[in-house]
Amino acid sequence: MLLGLERGFVRLVSHQKGWEKNAKDTIVLLKHILGPAAVEIQHVGSTALCGICAKPIIDIVIGVGGLNDIKPYIDSLKQHSIIFHGEDIVGQLLFVMGDLEKNTRTHHIHVVEWNSLAWNNYINFRDYLNAFPEKAKLYERCKQKLAFSFPCDRVRYTEGKQELIDLLLKEAQLWREKSR
């Protein structure tokens, strides 16, 4: 299984069956460490999308009652090589796993308030693209074009996806509301 990518670089690989098991094992570990502080933990991001290429980094989202709920666990997480990287996006905390000496990341663990807009966006995006493979393929083509254009510039790669992500998130929210 291919897993890990040097920070700042973009490389897409075909979907790996081992990503799901790795994510499940990581979730079990996180639940063990965090106990009731974690309301819910989910595998999200492109590695959670069936059949499309992705950067070989597992994205996990942890839903908590409040962001401060995670702070007492920072040292316990560090003992398991889960390193706190601060508030990478307003209202979200980031933890990373990987070979930090080689500046390689294998996991991005996002902490957000459970059932917040950020939480729902992560879940809705994953579920919508898995329910509509043609939308997932559209997203994949966008990512491939950007990865080709910006292999050494993760910021521009990420910025380039944002317009399509915003459109797909709107569609996903409408889809979720109709399916309730």
6-37 burial code (b ≥16 CB/10 A, e <16): eeebbebeebbeebeebbeebbeebeeebeeb
Q: What are 47-79's pLDDT values in tens digits?
A: 999 999 999 999 999 999 999 999 999 999 999
pLDDT tens-digit map of 136-164: 999 999 999 999 999 999 999 999 999 99
Instruction: Spell out the domains of the chain, with CATH numbers in brackets.
Output: 5-174 (3.30.460.10)
Contact 125, 165 (CB under 8 A): yes
Q: What is the phi/psi pair of residue 54, to 5°?
A: -155, 160
Radius of gyration from C-alpha coordinates of the chain: 16
